[in-house]
Structure 1
Amino acid sequence: MEGPGIRGNGVARIVSIGECMIELSEAGQGGLWSMGIAGDTLNTAWYLRRLLPEAWRVGYVTRVGEEEFSARILAFLQEAGLEVAHVQRDAERGPGLYAISLKEGERSFTYWRGQSAARRLADDPGKVAEALEGARLAYLSGITLAILEPGRREALLEVLAQSGVPFAFDPNIRPRLWESMDVARDWVHRASRAAAILLPSADDEAAAFGDTSPEATRARYAALGVPEVVVKAGGGPIHWQAEGEEGCAQGHAPVVPVDTTGAGDSFNAGYLAARLQGAAPAAAIAAGHHVAAQVVMARGALTAITPPGAVPA
């Protein structure tokens, strides 16, 4: 049965809200780079489209420019099977850009996103409200909030509240995007209190809030009244609470990553897709791990996967 946060009268549709960027990743020897299209909430939407039945619709809400690279983004979204009816266009700005550098499977990023059109995605709250109409679930992240002006952060959360559409939230804390860590902590807690499902990462939360363990992170958010919390731990034991219960999921097969880009985003997709189709929390966590374990074995954020339930014997 679906969790209480995602049960309702909405149609089989999920809407992801955030920033879509041009991605550069090292393509091998000789200083060559390959270009892709990605972004944390886009990554999750992309995997959701591959994990949910065709009857489900997966929409993406963002803002792009009117130049060639933005046209490529729109074409990419459509080819991925995502709804683009609510992607806004901006004559003055274009997409952000980031480059991935790898060392022993761990990634670091260099960003160029100051003039990203997505920073204006909540300038017209009415357009966001239209995108949410009739959805079963919305999805956003701390990056979605961080790139917005403070007044637009407030507007986005207000639109979500007024829509009545429950949302899943990954704090995805990136200190360089926020004015200060005090501001980051404040907005993460504001969004978390309103969220139906929270999907934090233990390392981010320890750095931002001083949590001493994933269990401490779960307990802190439980104290805020969040009904469903799953604390990702980089392949380690996952502490969770949902449906009045709590637990620790462990024993998942370890992998040695090639590239951890998109690991958390793909886990979120696996978890949410399973929950939306009626899986219990522990089974949904296993589904999330199954997806993320495949993603970290390939370079870049987006890669072909074998869905849970279709694993070769």
Structure 2
Amino acid sequence: MDVVTLGETMVLFTPESSGLLRYANTFSKKIGGAESNFAIGLSRLGYQTGWISKVGNDEFGKAILSFLKGECVDVSHVHTDESAPTGIYFKEFRNSANVRVQYYRSGSAASKMAPSDIDENYIAKAKYLHITGITPALSTSCYQAIKEAIRIAKSKDLQVVFDPNLREKLWPSKEKAQQVMLEIAAEADIILPGLSEATYLFGEKGPDQLAKCFLDLGAETVILKAGKEGTYYYTAEQSGFVESFSVDQVVDPVGAGDGFAAGFISGLLDELPLMKAVKRGNAVGAMVTMVNGDVEGLPEKDEIEHFIQPNKEDVSR
């Protein structure tokens, strides 16, 4: 196993029309969730991934399990909750630059995850543990499950990857969000915040200062994502900036950060230099934005090379 992750995946309903959601009459059904998006992204690139979660004993839960299995993600440690439903969410395409998301996840099966759902032997098989700031916000038991997973990872010398993935509406207060995020960041080896998330945690500072704040907490590698501008990277020994790839039209930005994480971690698994791993992450993130859906735009490895080198002749026709 290369990477294990844990978190909630939901059924996504996307309207066939743009504009206010109240006027949408037809929807397509998709699957989405930050951690499973990441796991699928790595799986498509040829790596072994495992996803820990809970789903309801309903058709949506069964659809999620079937979908993840079809993407070659191991779901052997996904539990079915008989008493709680699978979460759902809706996207609202106001216009090409304004995509909103409405979640219906309160009391979901995944929010019932607890430390007892975390198998030490399963996590120990992996090289990386990937977590986001979404899961600990879902409930106290989910927070405790994340802490247990981190404890196991640290005891087994796994690298802990933390993507803050801030969802402010899930937290009771900004202070609580900051407290938990910083607590987890202090346990992480690799941190993948957006610039706005880093600013949320540490206040208005420049990228170098924000990165230093994370490094001072104990992180080995800090990746600061600056959206369409590019990505900063920092360790104690090196730092740099990699420009983003130009995209003619952003169709759906949701899931781009998960795609970046998958591309970047795949680079580390391939033992690429840090700059090249960031470049691959930028490429995957950009490719995700060009397709409607959280995972539909996640590429296979040969597609990344064609995207990075667009003048290379395509002989696949």
Q: TM-score, normalised by structure 2?
A: 0.87
Q: Which moved more, 1:303-312 or 1:62-71?
A: 303-312
> Percent sequence identity over matched residues?
27
Separation of aligned partners in 2, 1:295 and 1:181: 30
Structure 1 segments of 4+ aligned residues over 4 angstroms from their partners: 150-153
1:197 Cα deviation from its structure 2 partner = 0.9
Residue 277 of structure 1 is matched in structure 2 by 270
Q: 1:63-74, aligned counterparts within 5 Å? A: 63-74=54-65
Q: Structure 1 pair 92/28, CA: closer, same or farther in 2 (3 Å)?
A: same
1:221 corresponds to 2:210? no
Separation of aligned partners in 1, 2:235 and 2:9: 30
The answer (yes or no) to whether the contact 1:214–1:238 under 8 Å persists in 2 is no
Q: TM-score, normalised by structure 1?
A: 0.88
Which of 46, 56, 69 is residue 40 of structure 2 equivalent to? 46
Residue 227 of structure 2 is matched in structure 1 by 234
The answer (yes or no) to whether the contact 1:143–1:171 under 8 Å persists in 2 is yes
| RCO higher in structure (CA 8 A, sep ≥6) | 1
The answer (yes or no) to whether the contact 1:255–1:293 under 8 Å persists in 2 is no
Q: Secondary structure at the match of 2:131?
A: strand
Deviation sequence 1:11-62 (CA, Å, 0-9, x none): x5211111111111122376321111110111111111011x3xx3111111
Which of 159, 183, 203 is residue 190 of structure 1 equivalent to? 183
Q: Secondary structure at the match of 1:114?
A: coil
Q: 1:295-310, aligned counterparts within 5 Å? A: 295-304=288-297, 305-307=299-301, 308-310=304-306
Q: Structure 1 pair 116/131, CA: closer, same or farther in 2 (3 Å)?
A: farther
Deviation sequence 1:118-175 (CA, Å, 0-9, x none): 11222415x3323302211111100022113154444343333334322111011111
Q: Structure 1 pair 297/189, CA: closer, same or farther in 2 (3 Å)?
A: same
Q: 1:115-126, aligned counterparts within 5 Å? A: 115-124=107-116
Q: Structure 1 pair 90/260, CA: closer, same or farther in 2 (3 Å)?
A: same
Separation of aligned partners in 1, 2:113 and 2:48: 21
Structure 1: where are the runs of 5+ without partners? 1-11
Residue 13 of structure 1 is matched in structure 2 by 2
Q: 1:193-204, aligned counterparts within 5 Å? A: 193-204=186-197
Amino acid at match of 1:291: V
Residue 113 of structure 1 is matched in structure 2 by 105
1:92 corresponds to 2:92? no
Number of positions where the alignment pairs a residue of Structure 1 with one of Structure 2 = 298
Residue 315 of structure 2 is matched in structure 1 by none
Residue 27 of structure 1 is matched in structure 2 by 16
CA RMSD of aligned residues (A): 2.0
The answer (yes or no) to whether the contact 2:150–2:160 under 8 Å persists in 1 is no
Structure 2: where are the runs of 5+ without partners? 19-23, 313-317
Residue 31 of structure 2 is matched in structure 1 by 37
1:246 corresponds to 2:242? no
Q: Secondary structure at the match of 1:204?
A: helix
Separation of aligned partners in 2, 1:24 and 1:213: 38
1:255 Cα deviation from its structure 2 partner = 4.4
Separation of aligned partners in 1, 2:147 and 2:209: 28
Residue 21 of structure 2 is matched in structure 1 by none
